[in-house]
Each structure stands twice: as C-alpha cells, then as structure tokens.
Amino acid sequence: MLHVLSDTLLTKFRDSRVTRVDCVKLLQFRISHTFAVRSRIELGDVTPHNIKQLKRLNQVIFPVSYNDKFYKDVLEVGELAKLAYFNDIAVGAVCCRVDHSQNQKRLYIMTLGCLAPYRRLGIGTKMLNHVLNICEKDGTFDNIYLHVQISNESAIDFYQKFGFEIIETKKNYYKRIEPADAHVLQKSLRSPCAPPTGELQKGE
C-alpha cells in the first residue's frame, strides 16, 4: 500500500493540474503525521523489479533526463546504487560508478537526491554515508566526485559539510537547462603525500 501511495504522489508531481506546491504540502502533511509515530530510513537494492520506480524518482527530482543505458548500467553496479525508503516509501536514490581517469581510481556520484518534502530528514546523509563507507572499506579509491549545477546552493553546502571542495567549473555542462554550468565537487580519500593508485600499481 505504501509503495502504491508513493507512485500516486509521484504521478501528482508530474500532473499539470496539480502544482508542485500542492504536492509538497500534501506530502509534508503526511510526513509530519508519520514522523510523529515512527520514522525509519532504509536503503534497498536497485533491481529489475523496481528500476521503473528509480526512473520515476529521477524524473521528479532532477532537471535532466537519463537514457536507457544509464539504467542498464545502474543494474550492474551492485551496492553503488540504492533506493532510499522512508517508512517503506521510496523517496530517493543514489547511483554511482567507478571511474578510472587522471591516473586515479575515482568514484563518481551520478545521482543522489530525494523528493523535496523528504529533505532535511537525514535521507541524503544516509545515502552519502553509504557511498563513503564503501570507499573506506575498499581502500583503493583516490577520491570521490560529482557535478552540481552552479545554482544549486543547498546541494553545494550539503557536500561541503562532508569535506567536498569545488575544484573546477565546467561551462555549458548541462544541455537544455539553465544555468548550464556545473561545479565539480571532489573529496580526497588519500593523504596529500600518498601516491595515486595507478602509481602504486606501476611501482609494484
């Protein structure tokens, strides 16, 4: 029933007859009552059975569209892709991939977000901590990075609290959305004196 409720509310977000403000108010009302009774945030696997739910969430949360290859790749990354549930309702997701570039092993956060009414409840923190824990346990990643639209100040502040820094600004990174520029935020996972993973492998 709760999953049906989630799907219904996602549909309302996309329905032109219902404003986003109305949907946010409705969800916030439900959340306030639910949160007063119990609150449980959990992460679940992305599978072929719930991949459509991930697509619907991304359509609502992000201003950009992701193609079929994106979702096909997500099904192959295992623990690097998770759906976030608030009291059994799917409200967000995180999707990452391993990137070997700049002679480094890097983790790239492709998407991380949750529905607006569920923000500031610790859901984003739980998703990011999940990703950081994977990197820590693996021990071979040099850094973790992502792109953030330059106007998304709340996201920039969020990542900076976790030690991410703006290392570059890419002009016209996004297509068909404004502003088109994106900051590259990066968190180093190695001490400044440690050589990149690629150099370690060459020296062995």
DSSP state of 46: -
Instruction: Spell out the residues 6+ positions from residue 63 whose beta carbon is closer than 8 angstroms to its own.
Output: 149, 174, 177
Please say if 108 is a catalytic residue.
yes
Which position among 66, 130, 147, 173 bears the catalytic label? 147
Which position among 108, 130, 173, 174 bears the catalytic label? 108
Phi, psi of 81 (to 5 degrees): -130, 130
Please say if 118 is a catalytic residue.
no
Strand order in the sheet with 41-45: 41-45, 81-86, 89-101, 104-114, 143-149, 182-188, 165-170
Taking a C-beta distance cutoff of 8 angstroms, is the pair 182, 169 a contact? yes
Q: How many CB atoms lie within 10 A of CB 121?
A: 17
Please give the positions annotated as active site. 108, 147
